[in-house]
Amino acid sequence: MFEHYSEQRVEHFNEELDRRLERLEKQPLSGRPSQIEGVRYVLLKKRWHLYYRLANATLYILFLWDTRRDPRKNPYSDLD
């Protein structure tokens, strides 16, 4: 997925992802609800959506979506 990016950009993305996950650990309901019940998402680095589900105090990462792609291919999008 990240083969077209420099090592530095990938490292910066991973750091942002870690920060976002730490925040979700403390505030799991801070993400926006998706169209699928129980699934939420947060914006990551302007172009990425991180979809997740909270179940029994466990945070499950479901999907990482690049918003530049065709939104009809995103199984969690708000498009019908």
Higher pLDDT, 67 or 78: 67
What's the confidence (pLDDT) of residue 80? 45
Each domain of the chain, given as residue ranges in start order, spans: 7-73
Summarised one tens digit per residue, pLDDT across range 21-77 is 999 999 999 999 998 999 999 998 888 999 999 999 899 999 999 888 988 888 887
Q: Distance between CA atoms of 18 and 22, rounded to whole angstroms?
A: 6
What's the confidence (pLDDT) of residue 52? 96
What's the confidence (pLDDT) of residue 63? 92
What's the confidence (pLDDT) of residue 2? 57
What's the confidence (pLDDT) of residue 60? 95
Report, as an integer, the average pLDDT of 3-25: 88
Beta strand pairing status for 39-44 and 58-66?
A: unpaired
Q: Above 60 in pLDDT, residue 78?
A: yes
Within 8 A by CB and 6+ apart from 62, the residues are 39, 51, 52, 53, 76
State which fold the 7-73 domain adopts.
YaeB-like fold (3.30.2310)
